[in-house]
A = this chain, B = another copy of it.
Amino acid sequence: MRILITGAAGMVGRKLIARLAKDGALRGRKITALDLHDIVPPQAPVLAGVDVSIHTGDLSAPGATATLVASRPDVIFHLAGIVSGEAEANFDLGYRVNLDGTRALFDAVRLAAFAPRLVFTSSIAVFGAPFPDVIPDEFHPTPLTSYGTQKQMSEALLADYTRRGFFDGVGIRLPTICVRPGKPNKAASSFFSGIIREPLSGQEAILPVPRSVLHTHASPRSAVKFLFHAAQIDGDAVGPRRNLTMPGVAVTVGEQIEALERIAGAEVVKRIREQPDETVWAIVKGWPTRFEARRGRELGFAAENSFDEIIRAHIEDELGGKIV
């Protein structure tokens, strides 16, 4: 079993590699080779009996993807991409990396004609307001960002290339990943993780939106589970609609904070400071709230059942089980 991961240096990529290293197998076969790609060198795990190759560079550069798939991996995890804010700020870069890079990878696989399973991380950013109360699987994508447009176009390619038999693709639309480890970043969604992560580490966190804001979350642990399941699922069971909305936990910000108080106590919750930010709220208002994710659940994708579970996963995976 040879596996290629693009975007291997990112948060989800690193966690996926750790899980692959721990399991040692995928689709019932021993992992013998890992090809890890990113724009910066991904960290190579030291694994007995596994041939680990490190690749760097821009996927849209001429010839880059042909080189990358020359080893004919059995499974490709295509996680590479620039984030929403960057794609919005830099139009050319966003289309080059998120659309042209993806198409170049898909075309290299097509031309090499080895038809691997290809798992692509799409995003709920393919959806744009206004929404019904619960967004059904059949709801049309109407992204309100260039990032969402690039993901939507990549999804369309994935479905067509799969229909043509060039590869066996599964696109998974990730909800907001929470609790993201690490530091706050400039993403408008950063506070969803920040209001849990910072108080649990003894630091203050800013809440820029009202507590009534409803949003759907899944833990980094669930994101990795989604990827594993997407790599192993029976392609025939998926059928021609290859892009699946992943399940998640739909909660208000107020419910996030209540869960934090149940788990960590009132003193920890006091570290959240409400400081309304109209700019952030304006962006968040256009985001989807609650998904049906019926097909994803029926196909065996599972997330946490409560926000309490999401917080506990963070404490176990990132804080060694301890709260400051």
Contact = CB atoms under 8 A, between A and B. Distances in A.
Contacts of A146: 160, 164
Given A149-B160, A156-B152, A140 B139 contact: yes
Interface in A112-168: 128, 137-144, 146, 149, 152-153, 156-157, 159-160, 163-164
A91 B240 contact: no
B157 A149 contact: yes
A142 B144 CA distance: 20
A225 interface: no
A218 B163 CA distance: 30
A241 interface: yes
Q: How many copies does the complex hold?
A: 2
A interface bracket (residues with beta carbon within 8 Å of B): 20 to 34
13 contacts: A138-B139, A138-B140, A139-B140, A140-B140, A140-B141, A142-B159, A142-B241, A144-B240, A146-B160, A146-B164, A149-B157, A149-B159, A153-B157
Interface of A: 91, 128, 137-144, 146, 149, 152-153, 156-157, 159-160, 163-164, 240-241
